[in-house]
Structure 1
Amino acid sequence: MIQYIFYLILPFLFIFTSCTDGGTEISKFGYQEGQSLDTTDTKGLETATFAGGCFWCTEAYFERLAGVKSVVSGYSGGTSPNPTYAEVSAGNTDYAEAVQVHYDPKEVSFEELVEVFFATHDPTTLNRQGPDVGSQYRSVAFYRNPEEKKIIEDYIAELERSGTYKSDIVTYVEPFKKFWEAEEYHQDYYRRNPDDPYVVSVAKPKVEKFEANYHTKLKPQFIN
């Protein structure tokens, strides 16, 4: 079983930057409303959806995990059609920043994805992850069937029994309904924007910590 927690808050390091502050070039890549950016061949793959704060970080974690074939950043857990980053990041919708994970169940299990999800964010902070504040950064584990719901709830119960956290877990466990892909410039943001202030001060230290602690679970190209 994957070990639990490496997440450490770095309050003084990134106090002056947040996910909302970055990614200002909205039209840079010519994204069209309604255009599908997810071209993954999902034959033989399963899909999981998680929201754990800024999707630039969440995407980078799962992209490194062996068995994961594609990760798409977007919005889930809301009701209005065609949400945009400007609306979601400003807190003007009921959506959360989320990622859609396409994975090969022969290589990595849903249980392992759930463990990685909880190990790479703080599930005890309501509507906040580090410098990112608002319901759009809430912690949500989405399920597509009763089996997935049970896996998530059982894992939360295990974390609470073990005393892993000093505070109560506030992660929402919700049925998956709809995922809207984020604008193209958000996809693979961590790799494509290494000099972004948020990436440098917030995302990079956490991703490097993930690589160090989960090196046996990484794709070969991410093993140092």
Structure 2
Amino acid sequence: MSPARRAVAVATWSVASALLALLLVTTWGVASEYGSGAGDLAAFAVLPLVVAVVAAGLGSSPRTSMAVLAGFVAVTVAGLVVSGELGQRDRVARLAAQDATFTCNGPSAEGTVPGDVDAAFHVPAHPGGYWLYGPVSSSRFGCTAAIHGPADASFAAWRASLLATGWEVARDDTEVVVRKGGVRLTLYVQGGLSMLNTTDDGAGACEDGRSASYATGQVGAC
């Protein structure tokens, strides 16, 4: 093989490797953010593989080139699977940590709710995989968190947790309402997502922090 041909082969393999590295990092990032698996980006593996085929064709030894190409394909497949799995694990760990420390009185909150109201989010056991996030709305009296996961499954899981608190059950149908010591927890579905609202039990429907403005303490319809 001439020095020029060897230089082109090395450069082409470098491009294929760089494209593969970019694909793996992207796969990890997408899985970490959205929970997508390796299969969602597998089609994009065609580009580095095509470049790898071109690089293999530039080699002087067909047997060696095919062996290297086979190794590249194996690394691509394994890399996609591993990067997707690591990304999903990172997502689960991040969402679980956010759920465990969920508060309506964080540093970026528009305002604060009473401490016992905020603490009520952590009275029920949090079902694994159905994590709290937000807050998505609040008022001076209450606050609402959204819940990750399909509404049917997340509602059922959180319903069981609320009923297991031992608090007085005020409602158990399309909404689950439990109350104790002047605090009320309400589980409901809105916009295709399960929501968990906690509020002062004396707050009215326009003051409980369900889709409410903190400035007025009222929902838009009130």
- Using the size of structure 1 for normalisation, the TM-score is 0.26
More helix by share: 2
Q: Which has the larger radius of gyration?
A: 2
Tell me which of the two structures has the higher relative contact order, counting C-alpha pairs closer than 8 angstroms and 6 or more residues apart.
1
